[in-house]
Amino acid sequence: MKTQAAPEPSAGQSMPPGFEELGIVRRRGVRGWFRRHPRCMDAVVVGVYLLLSLWVYPYAFYDLGDRAWWLLLGYGVIAGALLFRRSHPIPALALITLAEGCMLLLYPWQGGQMLGLCFAAYAVARNRGLLIGLLISLPACVLGYLPFLRNDQWNAEHGRSWWMENYYEPMGLSEIQSFSVLAVTLFFSVGISAGIGAAVRRGRSHEQEVLEWARRTQSYARVAERNRIAREMHDVIAHSLSVMISLADGARIVARKDPHRAGEVLEELSDTGRTALGDMRRVIGVLREGQDVEAARRPIGDSLEELYEGFRQAGLPLTVSLTGPQLPEDAGFGLTVHRIIQESLTNVLRYGRQVTDVTVTIEHRPGPDAEEARRLRSEGLSSADQAALGMPATGQVVLTITDDGLHPAHGERRESMGSGQGIHGMEERAGFYNGSVYAGPAPRRGWMVRADLEPPQKG
């Protein structure tokens, strides 16, 4: 089984501002401070080890005399190894095991035994996982306690220990029982330390996943916003430039016969350009100045009638019909309807030839009322079934834009100068309202765009 360290952000992968703080937001105060200053935590670990080990160190002089000074060397080696347990956990554990074994060989009753190994086991499991931590730290603990096997030889050389005479024997424990209690207790302590390290590893790994998810989410949000702005800019520029080109062509033709009328057309051309510029500023203002989003999402004209009038002035023979109740007063839905009609009419203006009639039909089909909905449910049609049959509870709005220009199959329709993003943008807009868009040749002549939308629910 292969284990890996918890994922860390790569050097070239920058987190958005403030994202690095997400990992410690639940650890305010002292714990969070140590999380941000790991070297200080290393110093605390070394301090705790030395404090718990050295407070019983003077008793070693009762049994060893001057030889007890050699224990300080072992304490120093273990303390130094603990400073590198974070960057080199396995070498640190090996060095600590060797030092623990040598110290037990010199003095089986030395205080704080295997405490350094517990810290090292935690670090190994924190960096390599629970399995590796247990497979390395538990055998190391057993190896460190092997000097207990020569306890009889140590007694023959130094006599009975001060700890046995003053601590363990008054508790009714023999020497073998005392060693067994120590070994078993610290063996499980090493295993528990590895388990704690593995739990911290899992927590850190989860935090990194959250950070990565947040980074990807923000990246996707930025892409979606850029696409939305690009779609808005495409609609504004494509529509405005098409109308302006049509007006400019008309002005050139009219100028020879009716200079006054040509002046009116040029004035309309100027107004169209200024209006387009104002709409572009509103769209960009959302990103640059933080203007009101709802205000920026509204169409240029105050109503669809102004949109229709602009195309009529550009020369389109436009007829509009509306059936059913008025469309919902929803800014987002109104913008979607506006842009789909705008894009469709712009394409007619750009690509249509010999167009004599353009029709815009808006059908608002309300959903079934409460009584009809109960009747349909009684017949076994659930809400999902009704929606699949074209009878959603919110109703439908069907937009149909047709022209009678030459069929593309005749090879005389103007060649497309765009990138196809207009139709793709209409499909994206319709998708926000569970809708779909068809754009293609009409059955007999010309071009047709049909969009089916589900209006938003009230309230």
58-67's contacts with Cβ under 8 Å and 24+ in sequence apart are 59/109, 59/111, 59/162, 59/163, 60/107, 60/109, 60/110, 60/111, 62/162, 63/107, 63/109, 63/158, 63/159, 63/161, 63/162, 64/106, 64/107, 64/158, 67/106
164: DSSP letter: I
CA distance 428 to 413: 26
For the chain, list the domains and their CATH numbers: 19-218 (no CATH), 303-459 (3.30.565.10)
Q: What is the pTM of this model?
A: 0.49
Give me the sign of the Cα torsion angle 303, 420, 357, 276: positive
Per-residue pLDDT at 91: 92
Reported as a single tens digit per residue, the pLDDT across 359-387 is 999 998 887 666 666 766 666 666 666 55
Bridge partners of 403? 358
In this predicted model, what pLDDT tens digit does every residue of 171-186 receive, in sequence order?
Answer: 777 777 777 787 888 8
- Return d(Cα 440, Cα 436) in angstroms, integer: 13
pLDDT one-digit tens code per residue, 233-274: 666 666 666 667 666 766 676 666 767 666 666 766 676 676
| Residue matched to tokens 């203002």 | 285
Report pLDDT digits (tens) over 98-148. Answer: 988 888 888 887 777 888 888 999 999 988 888 998 899 889 888 888 887
Structure confidence at residue 159 (pLDDT)? 72
pLDDT at 431 over 50: yes
Which phi and psi angles does 319 have, rounded to 5°?
A: -125, 135
